[in-house]
Amino acid sequence: AGRNYFDDGPAFPFLEDSRFVMHPAPSALPALSHDELLRYSRHLLLPEVGVDGQRRLKSARVLVVGAGGLGSPVALYLAAAGIGTLGLVDFDIVDLTNLQRQIVHGTSTVGRPKLESARERLRDLNPNVHEEGIAERLSSENAMEILGDFDVIVDGTDNFPTRYLINDAAVLLGKPNVYGSIFRFEGQASVFDAAHGPCYRCLYQEPPPPGLVPSCAEGGVLGVLPGIIGSIQALETIKLILGTGTSLVGRLLPFDALRLKFRELALRKDPDCPLCGARRTIHELVDYEAFCGILAPPAAGTEVTPLELRRELEEKRSIALVDVREPHEYEIVRLPDSTLIPLGELPARLRELDSHADIVVHCHHGGRSLRALEILRGAGFSGGWSDGTTVA
């Protein structure tokens, strides 16, 4: 989407090290207790870490946005490494479908808030780490205040509006943004720091059209993949704090799990970036759902509940059920007498539908069915409802 500012090739000359985080003088660093000296003894043996490096980790404040697939390994490894203050932003509940990849949670915490579940596990892993839980949806109204209190921001989210929100807030605040994303068998990681390289908008100035990129809930994800990408994010965070090694600032690291292959793309800062360019036009946070073209909530009368649909069908009302999921989803589970027309094929197959019939379109979470309803109405279909039933 938009212009892609990357090239195959090595990183740029200015990426000689990771010293992008302001470090306090050694005299201002917190001391390590006897228990911590023992706990982190394998770190202390490393010249690149040592006692002062471990004290830097203890003094650091890192915010992880999302306690899901990526946030789980990030939070676990940062807590184990001895990050002094670990902030977690999440407002979701642990679901059984999460446990295939969200390893910070367990069967015993299904139904509980993810924040509560994660903090309990992290506290058991390392009681020396101070956790700050933020049970809120990150938004344009609270992002600057929340992110502003931390040294490094780790993006563990799975949607474009929040991804752009985190990027923009991090740039405006002058914070490094440790980025990761996953889908099916592929992932990628980078570090965006506008003071030393490109930001996320330099890579993707505009989001993809709504519905073009399915979510992990719609397209699936290999459970071990977020562990690999999340571990890289944790590693980059630790390197930034220690000020050692070569950072992923200015580099994108795509990973193909099926071929077990990493690539490296050197990213170029976009001189015309509206956020971090010389003549930037973005000076404050915007409405990111509107920016990403997210559909507004369904209008009254356009959504039917599963129970309402069942009653209509039991009354033998003539209703055309259209399933706009993908064929592999349809094979797992389907509604009786439904017709499979994947969302991407719908515009070309409209002639298969009766424009005067009562049509109910449904998918997995409701997003694709709302898009299908928009397509139908744009083509002149006067009747129709969206069914947000979770069927798989």
Q: Confirm whether 216 is a catalytic residue.
A: yes
Catalytic: which of 202, 273, 292, 363? Answer: 363
Catalytic: which of 199, 202, 216, 273? Answer: 216
Q: Confirm whether 292 is a catalytic residue.
A: no
User: SS3 for the chain, per residue?
Assistant: CCCCCEEECCCCCCCCCCCCCCCCCHHHCCCCCHHHHHHCHHHHCCCCCHHHHHHHHHHCEEEEECCCCCHHHHHHHHHHHCCCEEEEECCCECCHHHHHCCCCCCHHHCCCEHHHHHHHHHHHHCCCCEEEEECCCCCCCCHHHHHCCCCEEEECCCCHHHHHHHHHHHHHHCCCEEEEEEEECEEEEEEECCCCCCCHHHHCCCCCCCCCCCCHHHHCECCCHHHHHHHHHHHHHHHHHHCCCCCCECEEEEEECCCCEECCEEECCCCCCCCCCCCCCCCCCCCHHHHCCCCCCCCCCCECCHHHHHHHHHCCCCEEEEECCCHHHHHHCCCCCCEECCHHHHHHHHHHCCCCCEEEEECCCCHHHHHHHHHHHHCCCCCCEEECCCCC
Residues carrying an active site annotation = 216, 363
